[in-house]
Amino acid sequence: MDRRTRIIALLVTALAIALDQSTKYWALAALGPVGGHVTLPGPVDLTLSFNQSNAFGLTPVIGQATRWFLMTLNFAVAGGLLYVMLAKPLRPLMRFGLALIVAGAIGNGLDRLLIGPVIDFLDSSKIGFVWIFNLADATLDAGIGLMLLDTVLGERRTRATAA
C-alpha cells in the first residue's frame, strides 16, 4: 500500500505541474492579445499578471537576484519535500499534501527559470481577495490544507487510542 501511495503521489505531482504550466501558457496566449483582462460571471476574472516576487508580494524585488534566489529556493524546497514524500513513512493525506506543495514549488520555479516572473491569472478580487494567483499557488494552499487536516486527524487518532 505504501509503495502504491508513493507512486500515486508522484503522478499527482506530475499532473499538477502539467496543469499549472499548461494553464499559464494558455493565459499568456489568450489574455495577452485582449489587454490582459477578461471579466467572467462568477467570483473569478482572468487578469494576466507577471509576479517578480513571492507569495503575496512579500519579497522585495531586487532585479535578477530576486529571480534566481526565489527560483533556487523553489527547487530546493521541492527537492527536500520530494525526498520526504518518497523516502519517509507517511500517512496518505500527509504524502498527498507534500505532493501538492512540491508541484506548486516546481511550477512557480519553472516560471522563474524559463520566463523570469511567475505568471498569475486567476483574479478573485470580486470577492475581496485582492491577489492574483495561479494553479501552482492553489496547489500549495491545498497541500498545506491536507497536511493540517492530517495533523488534526492524527492527533484525534492518538487521543482515541490513548483513551
**Cα angle value 160/144/141 (rounded, 5°):** 145
Catalytic center residues: 120, 137
Between 142 and 63, where is the model more confident? 142
Name the average pLDDT for the chain.
90
Between 69 and 97, where is the model more confident? 97
What are the pLDDT digits (tens) for 45-68? 999 999 876 655 555 555 667 788
This prediction has a pTM of: 0.88
So what's the pLDDT on residue 150?
96
45 forms beta bridges with 123
* CA separation for the pair 104, 132 (Å, rounded): 15
So what's the pLDDT on residue 58?
55
Cα Rg of the chain (Å, integer): 18
Q: Is the pLDDT of residue 152 over 80?
A: yes
So what's the pLDDT on residue 129?
83
Q: How confident is the model at residue 154 (pLDDT cuts 50, 70, 90)?
A: confident
